[in-house]
Amino acid sequence: MHSTRTVKFVDLARLHAPIAAQVDAAALRVLREQRYIQGPDVREFEKEMAASLDGAPVCSVSCATSGLLVALLGLGIGPGDEVITTPLTAIATAEAISLAGAKVVFADLEPEGFCLDPEDVRRKITPRTRAIIPVHIYGLLADLDALQEIARAHGLKLIEDCAQAQGARYRGRRAGTLGDAGVFSFFPSKNLGGFGDGGAVTARDPEVFRRMRMLANHGRESKYDHELVGLNSRLDTLQAALLRVCLPSLEGWNAARRAAAKVYDQLLGGIPQLQTPRARARTEPVYHLYVVRAPDREALADHLRGRGIETGLHYPQPLHETGAYRHLGYRRGDLPRAEAACRSVLSLPMHPCLTREEIETVSRAVADYFQP
Q: Which stretches of the chain bind ligand PLP, using CB under 6 A? A: 63-65, 89-90, 92-93, 135, 161, 163-164, 185, 187, 197, 199
In angstroms, the first-to-last Cα distance of the chain is 13
Residue closer to ligand PLP (CB basis): 115 or 156: 115
75: nearest Cα among 107, 102, 43: 102
212 membership: H or E segment, kind and range: helix 206-215
Residue closer to ligand PLP (CB basis): 57 or 87: 87
In the beta sheet, which residues pair with residue 158? 132
Residue closer to ligand PLP (CB basis): 114 or 187: 187
Shortest distance in whole angstroms from residue 73 CB to ligand PLP: 16
Residue closer to ligand PLP (CB basis): 307 or 314: 314
Shortest distance in whole angstroms from residue 88 CB to ligand PLP: 9
Contact assessment for residue 358 and residue 7, using Cβ atoms and an 8 Å cutoff: yes
Burial class of 77 by CB neighbour count within 10 A (0 to 12, 13 to 18, 19+)? buried
d(CA 363, CA 372): 13
Q: How many CA atoms lie within 13 A of 371 on its CB side?
A: 9
Shortest distance in whole angstroms from residue 298 CB to ligand PLP: 22
Shortest distance in whole angstroms from residue 177 CB to ligand PLP: 17
Say which amino acid occupies 268.
Answer: L
Residue closer to ligand PLP (CB basis): 200 or 359: 200
Length of the chain: 372
Residue closer to ligand PLP (CB basis): 99 or 367: 99
Shortest distance in whole angstroms from residue 43 CB to ligand PLP: 20
Shortest distance in whole angstroms from residue 178 CB to ligand PLP: 16
Beta pairing class for 103-106 and 82-85: parallel
Shortest distance in whole angstroms from residue 34 CB to ligand PLP: 26
d(CA 249, CA 65): 24
Bond preceding residue 315 cis, omega within 30 of 0 = yes
197: nearest Cα among 291, 267, 92, 271: 92
Residue closer to ligand PLP (CB basis): 15 or 142: 142
- Let me know the angle formed at the C-alpha of 132 by 228 and 236, rounded to the nearest 5 degrees: 45
